[in-house]
Amino acid sequence: MFDLKGKTALVTGAGSGIGEAIAKAFARAGAFVYAADLDVENGARVASEIGGENAEFIILNVAEKRDCEAAAEKVLDEKGKLDILVNNAGIGHVGTILETSEEDLERLFAVNVRGVFSMTKAFLPSMIARKYGVIVNLASIGGVLAIKDRLAYCTTKFSVVGFTKSIALDHALDGIRANAICPGRVETPFVEKRISEYPDPEKAYAEMSATQAVGRMGTPEEIAAAALYLASDESAFVTGTAFEIDGGFAVGK
């Protein structure tokens, strides 16, 4: 099950956390993976750990339209196709609207929304031409319900969910499937860094873990397992979903 042999995939933000776990899970399932990231050191590390025959690193800033177009040109020149696009790259911000500047909002939109838009637009025509394409967008539980003090982040992640549903509806008959994954809190380097910035990191960790009904945060590998399912042909009847993998974060809300 979940066999990706013969498939070509590109994962943005593949240099750490969820993106790294997805890239490695796809490679284990047989896909050739383009591990894309702005972080050259870690992106190249992930591709190297997967192995040169099964992965290649692409330096990519999804906030730059030209970078996205160049990535598509490279992949299509080298492989002639892209079967699976995972828009995982994203950034966060803490604050209410009164603590969020226009620059903060624009910075998040540039990566979290325009990045998804530009990557999808760069690859979608070639997918439509082949009548096959799978798009997996990493949203957040903050894309289906509000999270306190995360105004900009939630705004962008709600946008990702809406974007995903629109792509799925507009291009269902073109052989395109698009789904969003909405994780709860996951133990990634990004989250660990945020926790370290709190006055009492130990207390912050406990509080963030308790947010999930199961009493812990998720792991990148648990999110990658869902991405693998959505990328595989076993999920051929699944499109336009906001797949909540949140340890019960949203239960009762």
Spatial contact of 131 and 81, defined as CB atoms under 8 Å apart: no
DSSP class of residue 110 equals I
Count H helices, E strands: the chain? 9, 7
- Of 13, 74, 65, 5, give the one whose Cα is nearest residue 224: 13
The amino acid that residue 106 corresponds to is E
Q: Are 152 and 113 in contact (CB under 8 A)?
A: no
The catalytic residue among 132, 153, 198, 205 is: 153
What is the C-alpha to C-alpha distance for residues 48 and 140, in angstroms, rounded to an integer?
29
Compute the distance between CA of residue 87 and CA of residue 243 in angstroms, rounded to an integer.
15
Active site residue 153: yes
Q: Which residues are catalytic?
A: 153
